[in-house]
Amino acid sequence: MISKVLEIADPAITGAAGWLSGWGMDQYNRTGSFNYTRTIATHIGAAFIALGLAGYATNPGFIVFPFFLGAIWLGVMLSPWSRPSGIMLGMVAVICLSALIAIPFAAHLPATLLLAALTVVLLPLLFVRNPYIFIWFMPVWIIHAGICFWQWFVLDMPRVSGITGNANSAAALLLIGCIYLLNGRNRVKWVMLPLLVAIIYTGSRWTVGVSGITLLVLFLSRHINWRYIAVGIVVSVAVAMAVDWQDMKASWLRVSTLEEHLTGQGITSTATEIAHIRFWPQGFSNNGIHSVPWRMMHETGLLSGIAWLVASVYGLFRYWRERDARWWMFLSVVLISLLYYHAWLGPLAGFWWLLVRPTRTLSQPAPDTAA
């Protein structure tokens, strides 16, 4: 009886052991030593960072916000570190210093203080080299997609937001999850289907555009099997056409040009300040600018926005040859950031810092490129 149980449980035990020790075994193959304590600490650190990012994405209240921020910091302390390149450090220093310099010149001091704090407190994520963070974040993507479906079908919400409280943020978080899953092993690739379908229900038109561009580039580069993308697109469109099409159409046929979307003019009543570029940092501004670099050039100065662009482009081209899951995720974050400000200091704030140095993780499986 015991032997039968062990025979049934053996694949699960073996798989779990391999998953837990994969990164440590890579270390062993290179160095000849295996540190169980460090490997377990790396997993715990990844779990805490995933928890902090998930809590951050919910736009928590002031009372519980330090808890999620503390989870990120604890995870960073338990994770492996490495020093970024001099160019990356220089650009990040400009971004952080610009946010701090803006404080004395701010017309909206409380908001500017928060702007500077949220810029600086996530800086340690830049140094993290933990390969397990997004493995631990997978349940968050699945729960997020489930809540999106609940909001659409049960609560009858015109635009779903999942855990984020914002439809555009919800779509961006789902897209990042799709990219990660598409770069995973065959048996988990199909988990991206509900995430891809849920993007449609957010009504985030520009994120759907970014999704199409990213999936097209994935297809043209033959990075993954084209069947996954084809089936995903067909299923998403079919579900959108078959379920509550009239409500879906009302959500999507909103009038706004790309210029209005990026500048905020004509979209939001809070767009009360002229969105011109400022050389000197002057702090948070009551405007509706959506584009991250554009808004940074307006709030924290021209050099800050340029530094963000340089760091983003450098991160993409520095690791162009590797193009692993993290690289594709960072590409989607950069594209979304050009259209939505929430990808910088909103619900997805930590992802730019975490992914700006995309590089192949030792435990990353080889991409499926079979025809």
Residue 274 has pLDDT above 50, yes or no: yes
pLDDT digits (tens, 9 = 90+) for 56-98: 888 777 778 889 989 999 999 999 888 888 889 999 999 999 9
Residue 11 has pLDDT above 80, yes or no: no
- List the single range of 86-100, 101-115, 176-190, 287-301 with lowest mean pLDDT: 176-190
Paired tokens of 165: 């409280």
> Which comes out higher in pLDDT, residue 36 or 123?
123
pLDDT for 95 equals 93
Q: Compute the distance between CA of residue 368 and CA of residue 51 in angstroms, rounded to an integer.
A: 29
pLDDT digits (tens, 9 = 90+) for 248-257: 555 555 556 5
Paired tokens of 283: 């702090």
Q: Compute the distance between CA of residue 190 and CA of residue 183 in angstroms, rounded to an integer.
A: 11
Q: 128 — phi, psi (to 5°)?
A: -75, 135
Count the alpha carbons within 13 Å of 96 in the hemisphere toward its beta carbon: 15
pLDDT for 275 equals 65
If we measure between CA atoms, which residue out of 159, 145, 135 comes closest to residue 50?
Answer: 135
DSSP labels, 124-158 = GGGGB--TTHHHHHHHHHHHHHHHHHHHHHTS--S
Domain spans of the chain, in order of start: 2-34
> Which comes out higher in pLDDT, residue 37 or 73?
73
Paired tokens of 280: 């000197």
**pTM for the complete prediction?**
0.80
Banded pLDDT at 223 (limits 50, 70, 90): low
> Which comes out higher in pLDDT, residue 241 or 94?
94
Banded pLDDT at 100 (limits 50, 70, 90): very high
Q: Compute the distance between CA of residue 333 and CA of residue 341 in angstroms, rounded to an integer.
A: 11
Q: CA distances (Å), 199 to each of 91, 155, 357, in order?
A: 33, 17, 26
Banded pLDDT at 139 (limits 50, 70, 90): very high
If we measure between CA atoms, which residue out of 160, 81, 185, 174 comes closest to residue 126?
Answer: 81
